[in-house]
Structures are given as C-alpha cells and as structure tokens.
Amino acid sequence: MDKGVIISGAGHAGLILWVLVGGFFQRPDDALAVPVTEVSLMSGSEFEALLANAPTAPAPEPAQTEIAAPAPSEPDPEPAPPPAPEQETRPEPAPPPPAPLPEPEPAPAVQPDPAPPAPEPEPAPPAPVAEDLPPVEAPLIAARPRPRPADRVAPTPTEAPPPEALPDPAPPTPAVTPDPSPEPQVVEEERPETAPEEAGTELATEANQPEPLAPAASARPRARPPQAAQPPVQTATPADPAPQPPAASSDAVADAVADAVAAAVGGAADPAPAAAAGPPMTAGEKDALRVAVQQCWNVGSLSSEALMVTVTVAVTVAQTGVPDAGSIRMIEFEGGSEGAARQAFEAARRAIIRCGANGFALPPEKYDQWRDIEMVFNPERMRIR
C-alpha cells in the first residue's frame, strides 16, 4: 500500500477514537450550589419564645485574611413548637434543574481519500498479419536405423574403409644385411597408410542379415525327361569277306552326319521358351506386390504343423492385374506333411484371390515380366519371384 494512505487512515482512526471515548476523561465544572433555607410563618410571641430558648452565641472569631468559600449552612434543629392551629403551608419550590451538560461537538465526517485515477490502458499493438505460407509436406518417417553387422566386434564402431584403401599388411620381415658387422643395420620398408578394418557393435550372423528384397537365386527350370534311347535295329547281313578299311571309315562319317542331323531335328522339335520382353521388375515393385498379398494372408487359422510348411505357388495374372483363379497351383513345398502343405496352399490361394479381386497395382509395360508369378509363402517371411 501507499505510505500516504497508511498515515491518513491512522490519523482518521485516532480522531474517531478520541471523539468516542474522550468524554470519559473530561468532566464539566459543577455550578455553585445555591443555599436554600426553609421558612415558616410564626407570630411574635412564638418568635420571642424561640429567642428565649436559643443558646448563647459564641464569641466571634478573628477575621481571616483569606475568604473561604461559603459552605452551605445547616439549619439548627428547631425546637418543638407548641401546638398551634393548623395553617396552610405553601408547597416547597421545586429545586432548580441542574445545568445542562455541554453537548459534544459532532465528529467531522470522515472523507475517504480519493482513489488514484486508474492508468489509461495502453492501446494494444496491432495483431501481426499472418503471412500466407506454402503448405509444408509432412516428412516421410524413415525406419529406425539398425546397427550394421560386421565380422569384428569393437566397443567403438568404425565405418568400412573405401574400396581404394588397403588393409593392414602383415608386418614386414626386417632385411638383415649379410655384413658381419657388430651392429647390423635393419632396413624397414615404408608401409602406406591404411584404413582400419570395419568394426561394429553386433557380430554378423545369419539372424541379423537384412532380408533381401529380391531372391538371391531363381529356381532352375526342370530338365526335360531324357528320351529313351532307341535300341539299334539289327539286320541280318550276309557275311562279307574281310572288311575293307576305306569302307569302314566312310560308314563312321555317315553315322556322325546322321547323328548331327537327328540332334538338330530334335532341337527344333522342342524349341526353348522365348525370353520375357520388357524391362525387369524392380525390387520396390516386387515388395509392393508382396505387401499387397500379405495383407490378405491369414495364418491364424493354420495348424502348428502347417505353420512350419513353406509352399511355392504359381499364378497367371491377366493384363488388368486380376489373377486367374484356375491357374493357381502349388509347385513345391518344404517341411511338414502333405496334408499340412495342402492346408498352407489353401490359405495362400485365398490370399491371392481376395487381394487380387480389384487387380494388383503392376506396371502395364512390364506385363511380360509379371504375367506368370511364383510366390513363396513362408510364415517367417514371404518372397516374390
């Protein structure tokens, strides 16, 4: 609070307190008492009898220099008067009313101190005009980086040396000169600066190897069944005299030519499949197809034995991206019994049909590449061939 307000409030409070309780400590001066004497009417004989019975007056005292305030005289006891006729007595006058006390002065009205004027509010600064900013695209959330496995574990991981860096060579063997001097001089070869070997916090094992986006190797095409060799037809030939060497050599040449012609005819009968035209599918396109099929792949209904089976399923896809349900077939399976493999194949078949009902998002210019697709359904991971 302000110091002036405190002093003013204390002064006003003291004044009000003095007005309320100040009269108890000050009394007004009493007015001089007026002596009053009672008189009555009597006759002369009664007065003379009263004087005769009065005692002798004492000698007068010497005059005093100081005049004392007259004390109220007390009347002498009157002697018993003789019986007299009853007389009407006047009523005694009423004693004068006491002097009125001075009225206390009215307390001055306490005027509260005027409150200080409220400060005028400062004008609010104009609101800043928001600038039209271009929309900011949300950043793509990248996967959390994992430590790169290395063949050597060290407390401080180091990056792999560049290809041009040379590994630390083996310590060179000091060349000792054949001079039988008492202090042989050792000549050391200068070693070029080499980069430290790559080290990491995890040891490179098969468990932490990154999953390849594309298969490491494609399945080899099945070999054609070998054709049964036709047994040579033995024909009865007349016994010839001793064979002639020139004739035998000509028969061998004829047989070789016949075999070459037969091989050429056989190769033409079974032409090799034509290579797929167009650019190959990228790893991202294969991964997108794998994710699309995996969303509809329900492995919760499989038995524990079927979860251990890996099936390879082939399917033919139309140009619209819709798979042909009649072309879905199981090529091979690994692990488990045939019944478990059949159960895993049915789950894979339902996933392909359900997710491909509206067509897979595949590039139309690469139709020759994805017309025939092989998918490996593994409960641990899924691959697209």
Percentage of the chain exceeding pLDDT 90: 11
Query: Which position has the higher pLDDT, 364 or 244?
Result: 364
Confidence of residue 231 (pLDDT cuts 50, 70, 90): very low
**Comparing 54-58, 89-93, 244-248, which segment has the lowest mean pLDDT?**
244-248
Taking all residues of the chain, what is their mean pLDDT, rounded to a whole number?
68
Comparing 47-61, 169-183, 240-254, 356-370, the range with the smallest average pLDDT is: 240-254
Q: What is the pLDDT of residue 12?
A: 94
Contact between residue 277 and residue 368 where contact means Cβ atoms under 8 Å apart: yes
Residue 348 pLDDT exceeds 70: yes
Structure-model confidence comparison of residues 20 and 86, the more confident one: 20
The residues with which 250 forms a beta bridge, in sequence order, are none
Q: Which two tokens stand for residue 139?
A: 């950043």
pTM over 0.85: no
**Res 40: pLDDT:** 77
Confidence of residue 135 (pLDDT cuts 50, 70, 90): low
Residues 25-39: pLDDT tens digits? 766 566 566 777 887
288-335 pLDDT, tens digit per residue, is 888 888 888 888 888 888 888 999 999 999 989 899 999 999 999 988
Please report the pLDDT score of residue 253 as a whole number: 47
Q: Residue range 96-125: average pLDDT?
A: 58
Per-residue confidence (pLDDT) for residue 292, from 0 to 100:
86
Mean pLDDT of 345-367: 89
pLDDT value at position 145? Answer: 59
Q: Which amino acid is at 18?
A: W
How many beta carbons lie within 10 A of that of residue 289, not counting itself? 22
- Confirm if 150 and 204 have CB atoms less than 8 A apart: yes
Q: What is the mean pLDDT of residues 47-55?
A: 82
Cβ contact 184:175 at 8 Å: no
Whose tokens are 């004829």? That residue is: 254
Q: Which of 179-188, 196-205, 373-382 has the highest mean pLDDT?
A: 373-382
Return the pLDDT at 243. Answer: 46
| Predicted pLDDT of residue 270 | 42
More confident residue, 278 or 218: 278
Give the whole-angstrom CA distance, residue 109 versus residue 253.
152
Spell out the SS3 assignment of the chain: CCHHHHHHHHHHHHHHHHHHHHHHHCCCCCCCCCCCCCCCCCCHHHHHHHHHHCCCCCCCCCCCCCCCCCCCCCCCCCCCCCCCCCCCCCCCCCCCCCCCCCCCCCCCCCCCCCCCCCCCCCCCCCCCCCCCCCCCCCCCCCCCCCCCCECCECCCCECCCCCCCCCCCCCCCCEECCCCCCCCCEECCCCCCCCCCCEECCECCCCCCCCCCCCCCCCCCCCCCCCCCCCCCCCCCCCCCCCCHHHHHHHHHHHHHHHHHHHHHHHHHCCCCCCCCCCCCCHHHHHHHHHHHHCCCCCCCCCCCHHHCEEEEEEEECCCCCECHHHCEEEEEECCCHHHHHHHHHHHHHHHHHHCCCCCCCCHHHHHHHCEEEEEECCCCEEEC
Which pLDDT does position 254 carry in this prediction? 54
Q: Is the dihedral of CA 114, 116, 117, 118 positive or negative?
A: negative
Mean pLDDT (whole number) for 70-81: 58
pLDDT of 240 higher than 70: no
Residue 7 clears pLDDT 90, i.e. is over it = yes
Tell me, what's the pLDDT at 336? Answer: 82
Residue 114: predicted pLDDT? 54
pLDDT at 78: 61
Question: How confident is the model at residue 266, as a pLDDT?
Answer: 45
Average pLDDT over residues 193-200: 60
pLDDT category, 93, cuts 50, 70, 90? low
Residue 55 has pLDDT above 60, yes or no: yes
